[in-house]
Amino acid sequence: MDCGLVHQGGLDTPDGARAAHVCFVTRWPANFLSSRRIAAAIVLGLTFWLIRSFMIPLIWAAVFATANGPLYRRCAQHVPEAMRAHVLPLAFSILITFLVLGPIVGRRRCWSPRKGDSMTRGSHTHYRSDNVR
């Protein structure tokens, strides 16, 4: 990598001493760390920090989209042209919503205690394996 040991825009002394020092310490050219690059790195870092909680759902969305892509294309071949732009995406959105939320809602409904159920009586008490409270 050329360290650019010439005077560039007032960053270096006329003899190139500062450029030689920057190149020697970082092995980067003297003008590599400009204020624009530092600002861009800060903005990019803050952006990733802001969306860090969305990364797992975005990864799962990519997995679902990749897995359902062939099925979507196959269905698009058999659906009329007029329905392909609006109905098919809506149908797949509803289908994936039910596939993702269905087990969650079903589990909650099956495991929720009902009035008069024997499990509701001691739901706040934790039992040990030997049935001693």
pLDDT in tens, 30-83: 666 788 889 999 999 999 899 888 888 889 889 999 999 999 999 999 999 988
Q: Which two tokens stand for residue 79?
A: 């659906």
Q: Are residues 71 and 96 in the same domain?
A: yes
Supply the pLDDT for residue 8: 47
Per the structure, how many domains does the chain have?
2
| 9 domain-assigned | yes
Those residues whose C-beta lies under 8 Å from the C-beta of residue 133, and which sit 6 or more positions away, are 125, 127
- pLDDT band for 133, please (50, 70, 90 cuts): low
Mean pLDDT of the chain: 75
Structural domain containing residue 9:
1-39
Q: Are residues 27 and 73 in the same domain?
A: no
Please check whether residue 124 lies inside any domain of the structure: no
